[in-house]
Amino acid sequence: MQKVLFFDYRELEVVRGFTRRLQHPAKCRANPLLVADRPWEHGNLQLYGSVVKVPHGPFQLWYSTVQAPWCIRLGYAESEDGLTWERPRLDLYREGGRRTNLVLTQDVHGAAVILDQADPDPAGRYKLVAGAAPSGCVKLFRSPDGRAWRELTRDPQIPFRPDSPMAFLRTADGRYATHHRVARWSRRICRSESFDLRHWSEPRMVLEPGPVDPPQVQFYGMGAAPYGPYEIGTLWIFHTDEEEMGGGHMKGYQDAELTYSRNGFAWHRLEPGTPFLPHGRGGAWDRGNLQCASQPVFLADEIRYYYMGTDMRHQRHWELEPQTSGLGMARLKPDRFLALEAGRGPAELMTVAFTPEGGQVFVNAAIAKGGWVKAELLDDQGGPLRGYRETDGAPVTGDSVAHRLRWRKAETAPTGQRVRVRLRARQAKVYSLYLAPPGEEMVYHRFKGIA
């Protein structure tokens, strides 16, 4: 599948009349889905952790909780639908003689988990990164089921203390990558990579506050996941209190901005200063802090962003204070991260020239009453292609992630020649444009760009 998203305009030649608008996941009405109310959770639940959906199996959740005076422990929960969660009583760690759902207790800071289905060894398909005692530096753990974890080696793999929520992902070429922080660079996002999990690259800073960010904006951490040729991220923005002077700011609140990268190292914020997933307002249960899981969950018809919310703002040792802390979830339709929005006057875009791999042509768009989207194919020089003119096809209307574009004498895109796609729209939000070759299974988060 070939696809054009509108994170930037690299694959577009012309954009006229559209307004870029960041879209926002819709928070689930059933939130909070899970509340930290077990004795060994001490009233706090942090999403220094992950949510994974097992193919043909359950949702799995790993979350952090803090035991005084200071020890981060990793809890585990499961769900059949991702809404109703159960904390299994395991024999791995007991507290007061009682079984708990704790799966790691060695002060695991910033834990992130992946289910690595490309690993031929079933004993290690679950992989976890975290800063862990005694050094606090980044270590790797392996597990056959996400419950019983074993260290990859006794010594840390990355000789830095992360002091942050971490990302963990595997790229299309087989690299493992993690995001973490390096103390000397304060709250900025660094990245390390490895092909074998044992030997990791020197951390490189990949994202820091920009020249227009106020002094009160810091980058607490960033989750990430592959999305076609991109990586998309949720950047934890820490808004510190202005009256707190000096270094080591601790007072404030967190929300999440949307980021993306084409290579894992050059990262961009889609709309700096605007939260993609904001913390709650007024008396909301998540009015204090909002922390996204290490990566979203891609289901067949929606993207789920799981997050931690609390009614307490960030402050020194805030995790140990009495609070309401729980798990939330927000939904987004496929590709609907950012819209090109057309008003009453027609708007137009044209792609760069590319070679289609054939197949049907689709547009993901929400079209208001009285609105429309029309399309035509052009040749390399921008001239109309016979049979693919706008007048040869019918406009599409309504709201669909898969509006099929048709022309009277052509059901599919031509092959073997370079073309451009021109879209015109009125009273519509356009999210993506894509081509699906015959017989190919369409998975919205697995695609190639056109350029």
The per-residue pLDDT for range 230-277, each reduced to its tens digit, is 999 999 999 999 999 877 888 999 999 999 999 999 999 999 999 999
124 φ, ψ to 5°?
A: -130, 25
**Tokens 């080696």 label which residue?**
153
The per-residue pLDDT for range 149-182, each reduced to its tens digit, is 999 999 999 999 998 899 999 999 999 999 999 9
The predicted pLDDT at position 416 comes to: 86
The predicted pLDDT at position 186 comes to: 80
Per-residue pLDDT of the chain (451 residues; tens, 9 = 90+): 999 999 999 999 999 999 999 999 999 999 999 999 999 998 889 999 999 999 999 999 999 999 888 899 999 999 999 999 999 999 999 998 999 999 999 999 999 999 999 999 999 999 999 999 999 999 999 999 999 999 999 999 999 999 889 999 999 999 999 999 998 778 999 999 999 999 999 999 999 999 999 999 999 999 999 999 999 999 999 999 999 987 788 899 999 999 999 999 999 999 999 999 999 999 999 999 999 999 999 999 999 999 999 998 888 777 778 788 999 999 999 999 999 999 998 999 999 999 998 889 999 999 999 999 999 999 999 999 999 999 999 999 999 999 999 998 888 899 889 999 999 999 999 999 999 988 888 999 999 999 8
Gap between the Cα atoms of 70 and 319, Å rounded = 10
The predicted pLDDT at position 294 comes to: 97
The per-residue pLDDT for range 36-83, each reduced to its tens digit, is 999 999 888 999 999 999 999 999 999 999 988 889 999 999 999 999
The predicted pLDDT at position 291 comes to: 94
3-state secondary structure the chain: CEEEECCCCCCEEEEECEEEEECCCEECCCCCCEECCCHHHCCCCEEEEEEEECCCCCEEEEEEEEECCCEEEEEEEEECCCCCCECCCEEEEEECCEEECEEECCCCEEEEEEECCCCCCHHHCEEEEEECCCCCCEEEEEECCCCCCEECCCCCCECCCCCCCCEEEECCCCCEEEEECCHHHCCCEEEEEECCCCCCCCCEEEECCCCCCCCCEEEEEEEEEEECCEEEEEEEEEEECCCCCCCCCCCEEEEEEEEEECCCCCEEECCCCCCCECCCCCCCCCCCEEEECCCCEECCCCEEEEEEEECCCECCCHHHCCCCEEEEEEEECCCCCEEEEECCCCEEEEECCECCCCCEEEEEEEEEEEEEEEEEEEECCCCECCCCCHHHECCECCEEEEEEECECCECCCCCCCCEEEEEEEEEEEEEEEEEECCCCCCCCCCCECCC
- The model's pTM: 0.96
